[in-house]
Amino acid sequence: MCWKKISEWLKPVPIKPVPKLTIPHPEEAQDNSGELVDLEHVRDVWMIVWHVKASSPMKTVELVFDPNSPYPAYTIGRKIVFQPSWANPGVLMHEICHISWSLLTDKQQTQFGILHDQLKGTDPYMKLLYSINTYGLTNHIEGHAEIGRYLGQFMPEILKPFYPCLYDSEGGQSH
């Protein structure tokens, strides 16, 4: 009787393939339909998909269109300006991260840069991100925005305190 149990234990166990690592928040396609999207809907989707708390002060950032803008989107203070074809939750998150960056002290920005430089070669999500899209390697400001935009709540836990009003204790929730 015991031998039968042991033989059952020794049966080969099928190995399930490890799921392929993917970018949690892939880039949305540019919308060239010419129709204006509802910016409040973009904000609502952003808050749900990136797990931002309803109480986050980022919820009140002003969102506007500028069809003549030379950039897909840009930030001025607490206002985000979009070319109409680029108004989507991912671009919103990138620009919101610029506002979040501006809330960091110089010391915190330096600390983020040190961690960013260490993690970009060791964290699986960051390695994947930078193997596909190197824009975040331009400088630490863009690295901060790209990590927030593409990884969001899946970023390394050690980086979340550097996202005030998003993933710190007052603005967002950890995954």
Q: Where are the domains of the chain?
A: 39-162
DSSP E strand stretches across the chain: 62-65, 73-76, 79-82
**94: CB partners within 8 A, 6+ apart:** 73, 145, 146, 148, 149
Does the domain at 39-162 match CATH 3.30.2010? Answer given as: yes
The share of the chain scoring above pLDDT 90, in percent, equals 77
Give the β-pairing of 73-76 and 79-82: antiparallel
- Long-range contacts of the stretch 38-45 (C-beta < 8 A, 24+): 39/63, 39/64, 39/65, 39/82, 39/87, 42/87, 42/88, 42/89, 42/92, 43/92, 45/89
Q: How many residues does the chain have?
A: 175
Mean pLDDT for the chain overall: 89
- Global pTM? 0.85
CA torsion, points 133, 45, 94, 175, in degrees to nearest 10?
Answer: -80
Q: What is the DSSP letter of 24?
A: S
The pLDDT tens digits of the residues spanning 56-110 come to: 999 999 999 999 999 999 999 999 999 999 999 999 999 999 999 999 999 999 9
> Does the pLDDT of residue 52 top 70, yes or no?
yes
- Cross-strand partners of 41: none
Residue 45: pLDDT band with limits 50, 70, 90: very high
